[in-house]
Amino acid sequence: MKKFTEEHKRKMSEAHKGKPGYWLGRKRSKETCKKMSKNHVSQSGEKSPNWKGDKAVCRQTYYCLESGCNNKVSGHNRRCKVCAKKIKYQKISERMKGKGNPNYGKPPLHIKSIKYKDIWMRSSWEVLYAQYLDENNIKWQYEPKTFDLGNITYTPDFYLPKFNKYIEIKGFWRGQTKHKFVLFNLLNPEIDIELLMRDELKVLGIKI
């Protein structure tokens, strides 16, 4: 622990009392401030992007640690909120059974399934939604594609070619299904997917 001399203590005490002290309470001249400002600039001096006129911007601009991401962050060696969330959900997926599971890449199996137009669907709500699409002359595909999310896969319920949109029907979240839905959105922001639960289906006029 650093020991202060009596002289240091006296000057510190004066500074706290509002008197000119050793370092607290001192006013710097404009010339001193200008020199200190220049010291914050990188070795490139006035050519630095942080140089503004006759002074330098002390606060630097930092970007996300992940390659290909240009989002600004508040400090050095950090990730933006989007990338941090991706990493979080990917770590969760690594703790699942993953690619070693014999059912990897296959849609989840449910005990109950209902047949509609020679297609076995996993819930009555999916059947009702398929009927709604047929009544409105909207072409649809049921579970046409499975997406690889790293250590797990995700298969949306419906695909509407006319709108280039995927539809997920959910009565409630089972197990890790919510995790997979969130991770899919994070990894595929360019893909349009809509979640339809009880309230959204009722708005469409589907009787649940």
pLDDT in tens, 31-65: 776 666 665 544 445 555 555 555 545 457 788 88
What's the pLDDT tens digit per position in 138-153? 999 999 999 988 878 8
Question: Is residue 4 scored above 90 in pLDDT?
Answer: no
What's the pLDDT tens digit per position in 58-73? 457 788 888 778 888 8
Structure tokens at 187: 């990894």
> pLDDT tier at 115 (50, 70, 90 boundaries)?
confident
> pLDDT tier at 204 (50, 70, 90 boundaries)?
very high
Residue 93 has a pLDDT of 63
DSSP alpha helices (H): ranges in the chain? 6-16, 30-39, 81-94, 124-135, 177-187, 198-203
Least confident of 17-26, 87-96, 152-161: 17-26
Burial string for 157-190 (b: 16+ CB within 10 Å, else e) reads bbbbeeeeebbbbbeeeeebeebbbebbebbeee
Residue 169 has a pLDDT of 94
Which pTM was predicted?
A: 0.52
Mean residue pLDDT of the chain comes to 76
Q: How many CB atoms lie within 10 A of CB 32?
A: 11
- CA dihedral sign of residues 120, 173, 91, 102: negative
- Taking each helix axis from N to C end, the angle separating 81-94 and 177-187, rounded to the nearest 10 degrees, works out to 140
> pLDDT tier at 3 (50, 70, 90 boundaries)?
low
Average pLDDT over residues 181-202: 93
The burial of 59, by beta-carbon neighbours within 10 Å (0-12 exposed, 13-18 middle, 19 or more buried), is given as exposed
Domains in the chain, please, with CATH? Answer: 62-95 (no CATH), 114-203 (3.40.960.10)
Decide: 175 and 93 in contact? Cβ < 8 Å.
Answer: no
With tokens 């009927």, the residue in question is 131
Give percent above pLDDT 90 in the chain. Answer: 29
Average pLDDT over residues 12-16: 62
Residue 161 has a pLDDT of 96
